[in-house]
Structures are given as C-alpha cells and as structure tokens.
Amino acid sequence: MCGIWALFGSDECLSVQCLSAMKIAHRGPDAFRFENVNGFTNCCFGFHRLAVVDQLYGMQPIRVKKFPYLWLCYNGEIYNFKQLQKQLGFEYQTLVDGEVILHLYNRGGMEQTASMLDGVFAFILLDTANRKVFLARDTYGVRPLFKVLTDDGFLGVCSEAKGLINLKHSTALCPKVEPFLPGHYEVLDLKPSGKVASVELVKFHSYKDEPLHAACDTVETLPSVGFDLETVKSNIRILFENAVRKRLMAHRRIGCLLSGGLDSSLVAAVLLKLMKEINISYPLQTFAIGMENSPDLVAARKVAAHIGSEHHEVIFNSEEGIQAIEEVIFSVETYDITTVRASIGMYLVNKKKKKKTDSVVIFSGEGSDELTQGYIYFHKAPSPVEAAEESERLLKELYLFDVLRADRTTAAHGLELRVPFLDHRFASYYLSLPAELRIPKNGIEKYLLRESFEDSNLLPKEILWRPKEAFSDGIASVKKSWFSFLQDYIDQQIDDHLLEKAVEKYPFNPPKTKESYYYRQIFEKHYPGQSNWLPHYWMPRWVKATDPSARTLKHYKSATQE
C-alpha cells in the first residue's frame, strides 16, 4: 500500500505543485521520492512508500535496465507475479511484485497486462519511447485512483482526491477531480509539450467473467464442476482458502480486523489456519472495536478464543467517536451517511492499532455482503434474479462505499488492507452460481456461504450463523445504536431552519436529515464543490427505509426479539 501522484504538462512551478503530493504522505510513511521525467521538464512523479514487499529495492517510480523508456508508479499487490514469471519466462531485476507490469506490457501491450494481473492495483505507466501514458485500476477499485484532466491536456493523478484539489493550472481555476473507474485502463498520448490527450478508456474485466489470469492461479482447475450443492460448497471452500493464501505475501506483520460477524471471522479463522501451515513464526493479532459490552466485542472474543489469536480490543465512548467525525470525513472524502458512521469505528481501531502493535498488513471482510447478498434487505428481494442484479450493482459501486471506507481508514494510519472476499477467482465463481442458490434461506442471509463452512469447525456455530449486524451498529449496544448517539449530538448542532433550506444550499444530493446535513457541511469545508464524487446515498432497496441502518428494518427487529 502506497501513495502515488503524478503530473503531466503542468504550467505551474513543480516545486509548488508537489506540495499537493504531501497530502497523501500517510499512505506511505516509510519513504518519499519526487522525480522529474527525463526530457519532459513539466512532468513528474511523487511516491510515498509503505514497505511491505522488497524493502530494499521497492522505491518508485520503478525503472529497470531492460526497459529504460518505461516509468511505473503503482499502488497495490500483484499476487501472481511469481507464477507469471515462471510461466512466461520473465527475468526480474527486483523482488517487487509490481515489476511484472513492465514485463507484461513489453510482451503484449496494456490490454493483456491489466487482464493478467491477479491482485489489487492502481498505476500510472509512462512509455517515453512510444509517447504514451496509461492509467489502470483493479476490478473492484480496492486501490483508489483519482485524476484531473483539463481541456488543454494537463493531467494530474493521485491515490486520493486531496492530492489534486489544490493544483494550480493556467486555464482552470478549479480543475475537475474525479475517481478513475475500477476495471478500466485509459490510454493517453503524450505530446512533446508534456501535455496529454485521451485516446480511449477500456473496460478490461467484468467481475462476472472468470479472469484471464485464472490459468496462472495456484488452483488452476477446480476438482469438480456442476451445480449440485456438495460440489458448490466444496468449490467455495477451495477458492476462498486460495484467496486468503495468496494474500499472505508480505515482509511485514499480518493482522486481521475482527468484528465477530461471519465475514471477518471466516477471514481470521482461515488466515490463522494457513499461517500455521506455512510456519509463520508470530501469532495472528486480531482487532475489535466497540463500546462497553457491544455485540461485536462479545462475538469477537468468542472467535478469538476459538481460533487462538492474540486478540486486542479498542473500547471507545460516544464522545471519542463524535470528536473523530471531522478527521474521518477528511480522510474518507465522502459525506455518505452509512459510510461516515462505519468509518468512525474503523478509523479509531486502526489508529489505536498503529500506536500499540506492529501489524501492518491488515485482512478484513469487505465485499462479502455485496457478493453473497448479506444485507438484511435482501430478504425482501422480489425474486432471485432481482437479488442477483442488486448484488452486481452493489459490487459495481463498492469503490464509492465500503471499499472506499476500508481503504481510507487503514491508509490514514499507514496500514495496508487485504480483502479476500473480493478475490477475482472467488467472486466470479460465486456470481456464476444459479441465482436461486445465492438468496437468503430460512430467514438467514448468506445461507450458502454459511452452509459451505458448516462442517469445517473453523468457527463456533453461533458465530457461523450469527445474523447480519452492520459494523456501525454492532459496535454499540443493542439498546442504543451508534447512529442514535450521533443523531442526539448532531440534533443540537444543526438548526431546523438550516435543514429546511438544505435544497437551496446543496441542490445536488440534498441532505434530508440533520445528520446528513452535518456531514455535508464538513465535507464542503474540506472539498468545496466536489459533491459529485458521491452520485447517490447508500440506502436499502425494496423497503421503505428513511435510514441506512439495518436496525431500523422490521426484519432486524423481529430477529433480535426472538
């Protein structure tokens, strides 16, 4: 996990522009480099490094003797770089996994390069010989990427939007900053002036399709095919374990967030099992956060005791959470209600973890709810087909919500996130299953995933079958939700007349509650005029919901009262 930043065709002094690059210094606390491009005095790269793989030769931009005309600045992990080296005969000059991008590009161009990468990534590749610039981002947008491109060809690229919003340019008072679409790469011509022109934007992978790199996977072919239940459950276990195994690639200590819910508990249990198999010498550290005696803390303790992890708890009160709101909104770069609520707990646990422990590579359960239909409102889906379509929509928008939250709240503290549920191979297999298999069953969401691990003894049964609890709800007590604490505080901060005029002040995505108004106010303070980064608020479907919390839904209330 790193912070990448680059400018092409800047009209302003680069020594002034590069101050913007320092706004993402948190993403790479180990080292920083700022480098001009030979022959293009108004083009440069900035790089903040978190050294996880090849601590000696991992600085960027990456340049190797074999390809002196290629410059690569990337953020991510390429899990199949050794398999590709073996299969395609590449000769690496470093131990950096990202070096494979240079070799793939030289061998087959950008389309093959992006399609063959098994991992998470956002990168800028400069080819000075052919005067091309390439931008690319992984399928789900696990690694962030933003860009600004003006009409006269000035290009700015950064891991986070905050590194671009204050750039100066002669023809634009406030250049438009926008997220780069996941699963795409863009080709741009590089002019002698250093300015660029976009040639094409290409979608290189759809999450429903088996990825091209499956042929280079450690599990090349599944032992059984077909959709009978036992075969499906076996394949789910094989592919999920493989997803966790490949993410063990690290030279820094590995830890795991553990809420005590199904997703993070499965990740932690499989992770610890595999760490023992390959004889990793240190114990797995797991981390939970909550208010005193919250459901998540209680459940996480049970899981940690069952799997034998070195467990750490962060207990916070409502005042600590409320005090963190502004720094959280600045970090996550959004005003979405449920994202801000959930980000506070995750931000605080990562902050304490960074100070108290040495775990740097952090596993988490993001992506499972979208992939396996884990949200409570899926019980109300009109049909299996519509539930499957909703699952795909959620996956497409992950980079705006849960993946955004998970990346920013870990990166803010110089930590690296790993999310095995969003493994390309695992996810494409799960989405290939008949829609009827993936829906909630017997009143329980994610039934197929739970059933697949029923006989594994990885988790206590009460955890394996624990009902869905949103992270922002589970960290508080059942009697009073976290969002209720927030709303009680915010109700005293926002006058009724402000909310009445919200549509006039914020015509795009106007706030409808005092809580959303409060978040929007803070967002606009730090990112004025950038409300379009969030196309819409996250809300449940098929129910008459006025709040994104699962605890406001009838299904949740009836389940907790049984």
Q: Give the annotated binding-site residues for L-glutamine.
A: 97
Q: Which of 463, 483, 487, 467 is nearest to 475 (CA)?
A: 483
Q: Which of 515, 481, 331, 470 is nearest to 406 (CA)?
A: 331
Amino acid found at 227: F
Q: What are the binding residues? A: 97, 257, 289, 364-365
Q: Is residue 141 within 8 Å of 182, Cβ to Cβ?
A: yes
Contact 153, 9 (CB under 8 A): yes
- Rounded distance, CA 499 to CA 453, Å? 48
| Residue that has been written with the tokens 């993001």 in this structure | 366
For residue 356, CA distances in Å to 2, 158, 331, 351, 410 come to: 22, 30, 21, 9, 15
- The C-alpha atoms of residue 21 and residue 34 are separated, in whole angstroms, by 9
Instruction: Report DSSP letters for 126-178, one per residue.
Output: EETTTTEEEEEE-TT--S--EEEE-TT--EEEESSGGGTTT--BTTBSSPPEE
The DSSP bridge pattern shows strands 310-315 and 184-190 to be: unpaired
C-alpha closest to that of 420 among 153, 25, 120: 120
- Give residue for tokens 């990202």: 98
Which sequence positions are flagged as catalytic? 2
Longest dimension (CA), the chain: 71
The one-letter amino acid code at 431 reads L
Name the nearest CA neighbour of 73 among 141, 146, 135: 135
Buried b / exposed e across 57-89, counting CB within 10 Å, b at 16+?
ebbbbbbbeebeebbbbbbbbbbbbbbbbeeee
Rounded to 5 degrees, what are φ and ψ at 111?
-60, -45
Instruction: Please give the Cα distance from 200 to 139 (Å, whole number).
Output: 18
What six digits make up the tokens of 118? 């098994």
The binding site for ATP consists of 257, 289, 364-365
Coil, strand or helix: which one is 265?
helix
- Dihedral sign for Cα 192, 193, 194, 200, please: negative
CA-to-CA distance for 450 and 355, rounded, in angstroms?
Answer: 35
**Terminal alpha carbon distance of the chain:** 44
**Cβ-proximal residues to 50 (8 Å cutoff; 6+ apart), any chain:** 1, 2, 27, 28, 29, 30, 360, 414, 415, 416
Position 196, amino acid: V
